[in-house]
């Protein structure tokens, strides 16, 4: 049985992590089992939606549920996944769509869904370093100029401006870091006992 969730107030902002769903009563009933473990529905939900705000989502990375929600029929979804998976892609063609025209050539004119494009707007980079039995992980979510952004949170932005005493130095990266997480897996005990 999972530990009870301590009392809290709604943050009045968009989700920053799918783990926050565990604190929402109705969502918790669908996305977590009685023991507090994520369900298959939660995994499907996390694969099909984003925590970030884009001008257009990349069709090349769209999951079947996201394609269905975008209005693509079963035949169109199958054509897209077969092409991207290499089943029907012509020899020498790239394993991705470069433009809406390429999608229209496969599915027919007038099939472009609003809110879908072919550009990378957000990229998750995962790095794992192993030394002996220790594993260090670093995950960064980055966005090029004009790409994805964290959903607006006016209250937090105002508070951040009030509490920032020192000037912020502009590092002039060609991308924006949207999220950065570290993980450290503990060393295994001698003899394989953990």
The pLDDT of residue 192 is above 80: no
Describe the strand order of the beta sheet including 123-131 as a list of residue ranges: 123-131, 134-143, 176-185
Q: What is the mean pLDDT of the chain?
A: 83
Q: What is the pLDDT of residue 97?
A: 92
**Tokens in use for 89?**
């892609």
141-167 pLDDT per residue, tens = 999 988 888 877 665 555 555 555 556
- Name the pTM for this structure: 0.67
On whether the CB atoms of residues 76 and 69 are closer than 8 A, the answer is: no
Higher pLDDT, 161 or 174: 174
| 79: confidence class by pLDDT, cuts 50, 70, 90 | very high
Mean pLDDT value across residues 76-99: 92
Q: Is the pLDDT of residue 185 over 90?
A: no
DSSP 164: -
**How is residue 41 annotated by DSSP?**
H
């Amino acid at each position: 049985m999972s530990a009870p969730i301590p009392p809290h107030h709604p943050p009045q902002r968009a989700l920053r992590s799918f783990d926050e769903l565990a604190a929402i009563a109705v969502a918790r009933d669908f996305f977590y089992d009685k023991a507090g473990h994520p369900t298959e529905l939660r995994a499907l939900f996390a694969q099909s939606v984003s925590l970030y705000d884009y001008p257009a989502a990349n069709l090349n990375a769209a999951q079947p549920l996201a394609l269905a929600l975008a209005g693509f029929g079963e035949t169109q979804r199958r054509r897209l996944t077969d092409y991207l998976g290499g089943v029907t892609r012509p020899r020498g063609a790239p394993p991705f769509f470069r433009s809406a025209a390429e999608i229209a050539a496969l599915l027919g004119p007038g099939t472009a869904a609003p809110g879908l494009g072919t550009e990378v707007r957000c990229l998750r980079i995962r790095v794992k370093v192993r030394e002996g039995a220790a594993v260090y992980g670093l995950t960064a979510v980055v966005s090029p100029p004009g790409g994805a952004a964290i959903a607006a949170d006016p209250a937090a932005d105002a508070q951040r401006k009030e509490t920032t005493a020192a000037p912020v130095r502009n590092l002039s990266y060609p991308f924006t870091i949207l999220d950065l997480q570290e993980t450290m897996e503990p060393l295994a005990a001698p003899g394989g006992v953990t």
